[in-house]
């Protein structure tokens, strides 16, 4: 949700940093500057100053067993990002998670998964840790067979996501 320009100006005049003002407006649904200010000064400010309690990141695990070209990998990561983003927005706390991830720099990392079973194991672990995931299943129109699992997307607090993907190698 785009921050209302007038409300954003009002919050900035109160000394609220722009990123925190945008976040507070998103969390309050752009209802009023007063509601956003109450949220910010009532606890969001302390959270912002403390670094938000840890960063958030989105990780994409690519199934390297499949013979995908660079463009295909890029397209599949794009599918994973959009799928995960849409899934998150359907959840009650989804908007807040997206705001926190965005406030932390919208960190995205692409790593190597060895095969489909590996992606499935990682997804099961992520779900057991209550992390949102999205697994891309290809339609099979180009480089991989129909139904192939190409990319697993995971988002959450960096510390928790690292429990799932922290030891995986970056995709080169």
Q: How many structural domains does the chain have?
A: 2
Q: What pLDDT score does 52 carry?
A: 46
The 10s digit of each residue's pLDDT in 33-70 is 888 887 777 655 444 444 444 589 999 999 999 989 99
CATH code for position 45: 1.10.8
Report yes or no: 154 and 133 within 8 Å, Cβ to Cβ.
yes
- CATH number of 94's domain: 3.40.1490.10
> pLDDT tens across 137-154, in order?
998 888 998 999 999 999
User: Could you tell me if 45 and 60 lie in one domain?
Assistant: no
Cα separation, 138 vs 157, whole angstroms: 28
2 neighbors 99 (Cβ within 8 angstroms) = no
Percent of the chain exceeding pLDDT 70 equals 91
The reported pTM is: 0.70
């Amino acid at each position: 949700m785009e921050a209302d320009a007038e409300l954003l100006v009002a919050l900035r005049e109160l000394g609220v940093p722009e990123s925190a003002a945008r976040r507070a407006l998103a969390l309050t649904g752009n209802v009023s500057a007063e509601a956003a200010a109450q949220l910010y000064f009532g606890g969001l400010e302390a959270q912002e100053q403390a670094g938000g309690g840890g960063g958030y990141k989105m990780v994409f695990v690519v199934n390297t067993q499949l013979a995908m070209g660079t463009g295909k990998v890029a397209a599949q990561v794009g599918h994973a990002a959009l799928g995960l983003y849409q899934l998150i927005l359907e959840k009650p706390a989804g908007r807040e998670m997206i705001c926190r991830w965005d406030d932390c720099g919208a960190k995205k990392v692409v790593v190597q998964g060895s095969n489909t079973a590996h992606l499935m194991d990682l997804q099961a672990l992520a779900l057991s840790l209550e992390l949102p995931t999205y697994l891309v299943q290809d339609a099979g129109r180009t480089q991989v067979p129909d139904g192939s699992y190409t990319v697993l997307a995971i988002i959450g607090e960096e510390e928790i996501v690292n429990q799932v993907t922290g030891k995986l190698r970056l995709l080169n």
